[in-house]
Amino acid sequence: MEKQRQAILLADAESFYASVEITHNPSLRGKPVAVCGDPALRHGLVLAASKEAKAYGVKTGQPAWECRRLCPGVIFVRPHMNRYLESALEMTRIFEQFTDRVVPYSIDEHFLDLSGCERLWGTPHEAARRILRQVWDETGIRCRIGLGENPLQAKMACDRFAKKRVDGFFELNSTNYAAHVWSLPIGNLFGVGPRMKDHFNRMAVRTIGDLARLPREIPTRRWGVNGLLLWLNAHGIDYSTLQPGTLAPQKGVGHCATLPRDYASRQEIEAVLLELTEEACFRARTLGKMGTTVHVYCRGADFDHPSGFSRQKKLPEPASAATEVYPVAQQLFRRHWDGRPVRAVGLNLSGLTDRRCYQLSLFNHREITNSLSAAMDEIRERFGPTALFRAASLTSGGQLFTRANMIGGHEK
């Protein structure tokens, strides 16, 4: 009996943020639109551009001024993260009407496993067309779909081919993978970033086919499991499994803040560090976790002379209260900061363990700290993150009130 082929789809929304803005303001349809943060707050990068703006050469990640230079008639729209999250969830609900095996991969990408659904929706190609039509009808957002026998093939089909096609659909399978993919530059392979591309180029590996033709021992010996993974990707082989309804367990919680101006004073930077510690600890407690390692990151303001540091330290014992985490973060900062102005600060709490199990200590008042944290969490959940805050947030460096209106670093 022939083994049934898997039918994995990757659905990707076209210029997602820009498309959502257009559905909320239909007068923007057909015009060059760029979703862009506030340049005054150093968030003046293009987050998404409509296809009309892209036709002028506007790309995601470009500064607003460059976007304006390329496309003088561009219409800038501020981001609305809540809208995007709502639309993403709406798309998830639509996909779940076709299969219960839906796995969100990012805010605008979903994997769908349609294996064995032929009797319900016809061939995967027919199902994909239906999905594209339904998403368009119900949300006004255009999707592109890549079909493959595994998630990798679906991702490659979508990113490298479906996005360039008028019908927004492309299929890769083990029979046609080499014919379509091997001629592409190595940088187009999933998992190969700019630095890896340089490494491969130095090995005279310029196309995906060049990598596929190498003996697998060469990348494996050089980069271990990562090298093997890329070699398998070059062959279209992927052992990933999609687990619907479950999100990969979080390994850490953290936050990073790009500052509205360069901070040069220790007090100002430490005020932000304290706020980030509070946020990370709050999230850890919400997950019922404590962190065992704190990681502090600082990026210098001078692009020509890159400075900053990224250092971590193990906590004396797992903690989820800012009063316990912050002294370690502060110590890391004071030890490694070179005194030069800072543009971005980040803090991460990793090595998460269950919050209910902890070592009792004779000298610290864990029960009192926990009760205090629980009371603070309750107040913030009920009245918002600015209902209860540290006095440091009222100083010139404090960013709490700005950050309270943001999701993922962009306006709510």
Partner 1 sequence: MRKKKLYHQFACSSLILPEHRARLAQHHQKKAREACRGETSLAAADEQQQEQFQRLAEQSLSRQLPLKVTVREGGSCRTITGVIIEQQSLSGKIRLQSGECIITVAVTAIIYLEPAF
Active site residues: 109
Q: Looking up tokens 């999230």, which residue turns up?
A: 283
Choose the binding region for partner 1 from 11-19, 200-208, 218-226, 375-383 (rule: CB under 8 A): 218-226
> Residue 376 CB: number of other CB atoms within 10 A?
19
Among 47, 81, 112, 352, binds partner 1 (CB under 8 A): 81
> Residue 299 CB: number of other CB atoms within 10 A?
18
Among 44, 104, 187, 351, binds partner 1 (CB under 8 A): 104
Answer for the pair 352, 291: CB distance below 8 angstroms, yes or no.
yes
Kindly state the smallest distance separating residue 235's Cβ from partner 1, in Å: 13
- Regarding 148 and contact with partner 1 (CB under 8 A), the answer is no
Q: Phi and psi (nearest 5°) for 132?
A: -60, -45
Q: Phi and psi (nearest 5°) for 141?
A: -110, 135
Q: Looking up tokens 């309750």, which residue turns up?
A: 378
- Residue numbers 246-305 binding partner 1 by CB under 8 A: 246-249, 253, 283
Measured from the CB atom, is 115 or 174 closer to partner 1? Answer: 115
Give bridge partners of residue 180 from the DSSP assignment: none
Q: Classify residue 411 as left (phi > 0), alpha (psi -120 to 50) or beta.
A: beta
- Regarding 30 and contact with partner 1 (CB under 8 A), the answer is no
Choose the binding region for partner 1 from 196-204, 232-240, 311-319, 379-387 (rule: CB under 8 A): 232-240
Q: Spell out the alpha helix ranges (H) of 71-145.
A: 81-96, 118-121, 124-139
Among 241, 356, 360, 367, binds partner 1 (CB under 8 A): 241
Spatial CB neighbours of 122, under 8 Å, sequence gap ≥ 6: 130
Measured from the CB atom, is 241 or 359 closer to partner 1? Answer: 241
- Regarding 212 and contact with partner 1 (CB under 8 A), the answer is no
Kindly state the smallest distance separating residue 292's Cβ from partner 1, in Å: 17
Choose the binding region for partner 1 from 14-22, 84-92, 178-186, 351-359 (rule: CB under 8 A): 84-92
Among 25, 29, 65, 100, binds partner 1 (CB under 8 A): 100
- Regarding 319 and contact with partner 1 (CB under 8 A), the answer is no
Q: Which one, of 18, 12, 55, 57, lies nearest residue 34 by Cα?
A: 18
- Regarding 407 and contact with partner 1 (CB under 8 A), the answer is yes
Answer for the pair 407, 85: CB distance below 8 angstroms, yes or no.
yes
Structure tokens of 378?
């309750």
List interacting residues with partner 1 (CB under 8 A): 81, 85, 88-89, 92-93, 100, 103-107, 111, 116-117, 151-152, 155, 191, 224-226, 228-229, 232, 238-243, 245-249, 253, 283, 407-408
